[in-house]
Structure 1
């Protein structure tokens, strides 16, 4: 996939090209309104970040700028020689949008339906259309369906083992532009056509200070508003909330003018529908609290559907912290372990230091702490735990600034052993290890085994392990497995821009335990039980605790959760049991279960577990490491010539497609999984978010040099026939031709661009 910077540049190019489209005197396309100037130190990518999609968007992929025109009323346009390389992206005008969010417990299932028109391409020509879907917190794309003229498209997951080993996905077909932005390309859409699109994803509700909140990207730029004042523009938002608690729900904030349509105990429904002059200019947000000041919980039961691959009964257990802010939290003894290898250089380490300083300032005076920095060696702030006095925190902050210098290799086990030893002598508190890394190491399974042995020494409260992964090069399944073993929690920042925010969230949960050593005794009453996670973490005042699983047998009529409170007194709550009629438990818990099972499959090397994950992924439409997403194209009314089997074809991007006996064409997308770490990138100290540098070849140098001459038109336009010819020549001929063209550019090309393309600041 293109990088975020390349995407922004392509949209900027597209907006310039869109000025060729003329809609008459009534109304022209609204020009983009850039934000106020940023600080001079801001990068070009940051300055243009406002061009990134902030709501579901569709773009026309323009390779040939000559096809850009009004498909209804062609206008006189000066002919453009050349092509856009890379392609420009023109945002399509949107004719209607509907948003529906179904919230249950801590998850929201979001569905967006909309229609977009290819308003910028001649009626006799066609172009690809790229869909971009920004998702909210921990978003997971579930599917896309598209209808256009005589064709329809839909995404589907297939098992990786069913993919032909020769199949390759083109970079442009689909994937993640950023960790929270999914893109998908629909091929060859005719100018003037309307695309009807349905997009589905899931995301997590945030929980802070006893309040749940949902935030969905729903901010549309002005230039997607259709030209012409008489065109109907309908906007609809529907919100369904099932808190699953059986207690009263109190609404706090709503961003859009929703009206309540129904209210029951623990359930609410809202609707907003209107003709609008312009589309939503703010994200959709909604927050609520559950009216209970005490710790409470419940159990949801459900029978599997006929199509469920696992015919065992389903259950979900939730325990909420309540909204009493004065509740006492456990005294904590915490050892923070931070990776300072060479790959952490720059923003990753700077943001980690900021988050760590904020966490230390939140420690209570009776808490104790220490810090260990590691690369190939280990560096200790202190050899023993120190009370979190103001003076100690200040010294720790100074030590961090002096010793957190990125460099060297990555070796995780020695600092973990050191932390376990430091916490072996504490009592009457919650011992916590907080590990931050951006790299993968060879001995990860050995580390998990070693920690499992250390944490089963019979102590009343064993050390909790919280893990935080930065970027895509570390093995996030190793970190998740380590957190599961240590009854802690796992967090991540795949995007380096979110490191500080996500790390502070995990620190906040780790530093606010209120109910520990939780046990739910249901194993004796059932024939079989499978529970996720296998080791129940502590309940934090900042986050609800959700446990799920499958069982056989008769579920008990009553159930209790037992544990200890911050004063080390025993505590027990009754869990209310009810049937979940309106909540699809298999979908609700699918993402968490798939990720936990994947970590277990990685740790054990169990192929049967991998197959189980693949089947769960296909059934629930949740992406996994053992499935691939494909785009199925169906031509309505077409009868396939092939009677049986699959026929392989190659598309214009040289990626493999297949045509089945029903006439469906299957287009392979890039792998959407996060992978199991990158040892080579870790060894070479490649920073998160960066790829290995690639030296340009002679032909590529010529492309870049030649494209500069027409930068105001499309930043990438020039004579592609000559460029392709040059790429087929040997090095000596290519160099000679490059030098010749550079000399000619001084006399001809520059003058041509000045007269035809570059006469105005807007590129016309």
Structure 2
């Protein structure tokens, strides 16, 4: 598992760090075992942004300020070990707009473990929050600086110097890594990393969780060291309602308050860095449904000069709002690739979803591979007996094996729901595979939706792993006003599926329309079909338009009793919320799905432009870490000042490619071969076995490698004494040989 490999890398790095002599007046706190165990892999995973020295030569490990005698170490760390660097400064800033947060963490780390005349690569590892997207990294190391940049293939090819292949990427979902090359021992690394993440919404509250828990071994050596933590939180709900603070993990102090806009600050001198993640929650008070429209004019640098709009509908705080009667068909992929933990987690989530249904609902289950396995030939009422029978059927029938055929079970589910009346028909598709007829499936389902009209089945899709085509699943859900979600980590399948089911199966307003769209000169909406408003999630759609909005509008929809509801929408202009930035990732993902389905180059180019402008990586763009030498920049400024060169500039700066930011369009071959569900293939950090490739002089297991391993566990001072004794014995041996030689010559 990637977690164990990473933990082993850090553990080996901490062992190497014991070679560092901190000095008599310095203090070093080794990592404490967790729960009495010798090693806990999970405890060594980063729970906050961390920087590690990548060490393949143990001989370079030493204190750059206080060099000490270091016994020679045979062999190399292959693959490299990771030594956590000591952290000298840290600050966090979070800006919350609507349902999105933009997080920036600034910190300073010191390469305290490498000799001053040696260097090594350093690796930044950032655990990001819910549905995070990396936005950029800026690095300063001495006279060198680095920054990330998103570019397309054409721009990448036009640059003169080719990019290095190794540069980082996602080690696992929401664990971003970036390599900083050749950092000298004793250097300070100043870093700023930015990402976006979705706010979590539950029971009328928005919340944000940011990894901000630092281990003890990143504390500097010095006993007396001024450590200051700073957290700034800015909230602009955009809803124009009163914002109420609920809970917070750190002692935030309110600095300012306006209608729906709050600013908080936490700043404190601490003895130890934060040992808990940063958490904050707030509620937007309203006793009933409400909505509005935000408008914003484009900036002069915006390539798309159409205005931006955002339509939001909020379910309010009424807990007894009536939900539509549901007719639900679960379609579960049981192909051979789902075997093991993925299918077990899906089965657990499915059993939980059945318990969430009420007595007025109906359900059915279809398990599929090349064949169909149906729980019943018709829709069944939700009774205690039927649900118990369904649990038994799941345990007996939902067993991995065979191939993947998605079209057949979807058609079967459409037929089962063809007679649904006065209810909300739902299809929940869970799969880990990709098939060749995905575009045909979307076209067929679009035809079914058009025939059934406003109460057509909502097809909600859930992708498991990286082999399925997530853009096909996103497109399929968008066509039918369903909900899409995914799990790229097997441990997240059950929890994400439960939230996905609750969000998609609890509509309180369906068939939402806004009459102004047909009166505008031009309008582009994301998603193109407005989804339903659910009890557990606000509805937010956005887009571009040309024309003029009136001062107020009305949204219409259908309630659970089939009566019509009209919601007044206040229209207002905003300059405080960067709408284009907030919705960039949503627009890119939906445009990519549309471009895949229609095979449109125009939509692909539009997604590329938004990606490059917003610095959000996409399927069609690349993230590059660019190095800029400060000394060269100063020289360039002087050259430009005197006008001696027209094309002076850092054209040949080092470029490092950041991998693993795109998820691709599925892997049909992996699906056909029934390869185990893919959850990404983390390449960094590699498995670390210190001294594993030590020099061997023979194949005897009592020889070099095992002797070196045994010696590596000895105390440093004991090793020094033993070395001095061996040297003394060698000297005595040489002296005895000399005496013997002299005696022979005299005779």
Q: TM-score, length-normalised on structure 1?
A: 0.89
Which of 671, 685, 689 aligns to 2:674? It is 685
Change (3 A) 1:395 1:628: same
- The answer as to 2:250 corresponding to 1:295 is no
Structure 1 position 757 matched with structure 2 position 712: yes
Give structure 1 stretches of 5+ with no counterpart: 644-658, 695-702, 723-739
The aligned residue for residue 77 of structure 2 is 84
Q: Are the equivalent residues in 2 in contact too, given 1:19–1:29 (CA < 8 A)?
A: no
Change (3 A) 1:23 1:330: same
Match in the other structure for 1:664: 653
Tell whether the 8 Å contact from 1:168 to 1:668 is kept in structure 2 after alignment: no
Task: Report what 2:57 is aligned to.
Answer: 64
Give the equivalent residue in structure 1 for 2:547: 553
State whether structure 2 residue 98 is matched by structure 1 residue 98.
Answer: no
Aligned mate of 1:741, from 658, 677, 698: 698
1:120 counterpart residue number: 113
Determine the structure 2 residue equivalent to 1:716. Answer: 692
Does residue 34 (structure 1) correspond to residue 33 (structure 2)? The answer is yes
Q: Is 1:363–1:511's contact at 8 Å kept on the other side of the alignment?
A: no
Aligned to 1:631: 625
> Is 1:315 aligned to residue 306 of structure 2?
no
8 Å contact kept, 1:103–1:242: yes
The Cα offsets for residues 124-147 of structure 1, whole Å up to 9 and x where unpaired, read as 111111000110000000000001
**How many Å separate the matches in 2 of 1:533 and 1:547?**
7
For the Cα contact (< 8 Å) 2:502–2:536, is it kept in 1?
Answer: yes
- Residue by residue, what CA displacement relative to the aligned partner does 1:652-680 show, whole Å, maximum 9, x if unpaired? xxxxxxx9754422222214111000111
Q: Deviations over 1:495-528 (max 9, x none)?
A: 1111011111101112211011001122232110
Q: Whole-Å Cα distance in 2 between the matches of residues 691 and 463 of structure 1?
A: 32
Tell me how far apart the structure 2 counterparts of residues 448 and 262 of structure 1 sit (CA, whole Å): 49
- CA deviation string 1:697-750 (max 9, x = no partner): xxxxxx99xx9xxx6xx253523xx8xxxxxxxxxxxxxxxxx7323x534443
**Partner Cα distance (1:168, 1:372) in 2:** 51
Give distance in 2, aligned partners of 1:687 and 1:467: 20
Q: Quick one: structure 1 residues 172 and 32, their matched pair in 2 at CA, closer, same or farther if it must change by over 3 Å? A: farther
Equivalenced residues, count: 706
**Retained in 2: the 8 A contact 1:21–1:120?**
yes
Deviation (angstroms), 1:596? 0.2
* Correspondence for 1:622 among 575, 592, 616: 616
Q: Could you tell me which of 139, 155, 160 is aligned with 2:153?
A: 160
Post-superposition CA distance 1:317-343 (Å, at most 9, x none): 111111111111110000000000011
Q: CA RMSD in A?
A: 2.5
Q: Distance in 2 between matches of 1:273 and 1:514?
A: 43
Please say if residues 77 and 693 of structure 2, whose CA atoms lie closer than 8 Å, have aligned partners that are also in contact. yes
Return the structure number with greater relative CO, CA threshold 8 A, min gap 6.
2
Kindly state the Cα deviation for residue 288 of structure 1 after the two structures are TM-superposed: 1.0
Once residues 635 and 420 of structure 2 are traced to their aligned partners in structure 1, the CA distance between those partners, rounded to angstroms, is: 74
Measured in 1, the distance between the counterparts of 2:680 and 2:287 equals 49
Indicate the SS of the match to 2:308.
Answer: strand
For the 8 Å contact 2:56–2:80, the answer to whether it is kept is yes
- The residue number in structure 1 matching 2:643 is none
Query: How far apart are the structure 2 equivalents of 1:763 and 1:429?
Result: 78
TM-score normalised to the size of structure 2? Answer: 0.91
Is residue 522–residue 545 contact of structure 2 (8 Å, CA) maintained in 1?
A: yes
Taking the aligned partners of 1:246 and 1:642, their CA distance within structure 2 comes to: 49
Within 5 Å, which residues of 2 pair with 1:93-492?
93-164=86-157, 172-492=166-486
User: CA-to-partner distance for each residue in 1:18-42, whole Å, 9 max, x for gaps?
Assistant: 111121233443211232268x9xx
Compare CA radii of gyration and give the structure with the larger one: 2
Q: Indicate how the Cα distance of structure 1 residues 212 and 639 shifts in structure 2: closer, same or farther if over 3 A, else same.
A: closer
**Pairwise mapping of residues 500-539 of structure 1 onto structure 2 (< 5 A)?**
500-539=494-533
Q: Determine if contact 1:16/1:762 at 8 Å carries over to the other structure.
A: no
Partners of 2:570 and 2:586 in 1: CA distance: 23
